Amino acid sequence: MSDPKQKLTGQQVADAGLDDWRLVLGTLRARFTTDDFASAARLNQRVGEAAEAANHHPDLDLRWGRLDVAVSSHDVGGITSRDVDLARQVSALAAEEGARADTASLQAVELAIDTAHAGRIGPFWAAVLGGEFAGDDVTDQAGDVPALWFQDTDEHEEPRQRFHLDVWVPPEQVQPRIDAALAAGGSLVSDAEAPSFWVLADADGNKACLCTWQDRG
């Protein structure tokens, strides 16, 4: 586990003894709770300083009385000894600050679409979500939306869609996303409710809405 470029298996991560951390959707995650915002912010500051010193930077989400930390090595697409080392350091800082690890509430959401045509509909969803299509999923490097994964399936008739994505964007971003979605093989199903929302569909008929604050009272 000493090679900083060696991707670790899930079992190797589990065997590392990181009691405060859990491997969730390819990322090492921890949640530390405190008694107020100031103490969470102080921990956030110390974690940031440690990360800068290590030149290995986690994602930090500061809320009232809570700091979420997520680490991974993007250059190898997984967890390495760098992440394990940083996780141990963060846990030590949290202990010094009197923060408490909450592993029970750790989770990550990944959306999935069953399709026999990932290559055909993937660019549409990348356009709608403002992400990147990587063969079998769409990811948002900023981490603002869940990953969208394409589950390979046999060819089948278009099913009745029982849920869809509402993608909320600033009004000026609607048309660029519509243009990108149409260029990627999608279609505009309806603009009857614009500028509140527009309904789009990929080439398989899966629908999504681009939504704004406009005309909502």
User: Contact, 81 vs 8, CB < 8 A?
Assistant: yes
Q: What is the pLDDT of residues 101-154, one digit of tens each?
A: 999 998 888 888 888 999 999 999 999 999 999 988 998 888 888 889 998 888
Q: What is the pLDDT of residues 66-79, one digit of tens each?
A: 999 999 998 898 99
User: Bigger pLDDT: 47 or 136?
Assistant: 47
pLDDT score of 15 more than 70: yes
What's the CA gap between 42 and 94, in Å, rounded? 10
User: Would residue 184 count as lying in a domain?
Assistant: yes
What's the CA gap between 30 and 28, in Å, rounded? 7
State whether 48 and 115 are in the same domain.
no
Least confident of 40-49, 151-160, 162-171, 191-200: 151-160
pLDDT at 153: 86
Q: CA angle 31-34-143, nearest 5°?
A: 35
The model's confidence at residue 206, banded by pLDDT at 50, 70 and 90, is very high
Total of domains in the chain: 2
pLDDT at 217: 63
CATH code (residue 189): 3.10.180.10
User: Would residue 94 count as lying in a domain?
Assistant: yes
- The strand pairing partners of 30, in sequence order, are 69
pLDDT score of 50 more than 90: yes
Give the burial string for 48-57 (b: 16+ CB within 10 Å, else e): eebbeeeebe
Nearest CA-CA partner of 74 in 27, 13, 144: 27
User: Would residue 79 count as lying in a domain?
Assistant: yes
The model's confidence at residue 94, banded by pLDDT at 50, 70 and 90, is very high
pLDDT score of 159 more than 80: no
State whether 121 and 195 are in the same domain.
yes
State whether 114 and 176 are in the same domain.
yes
Residue 28 is part of which domain span?
Answer: 10-101
Mean residue pLDDT of the chain comes to 92
pLDDT score of 64 more than 70: yes
Mean pLDDT confidence for 158-179: 87
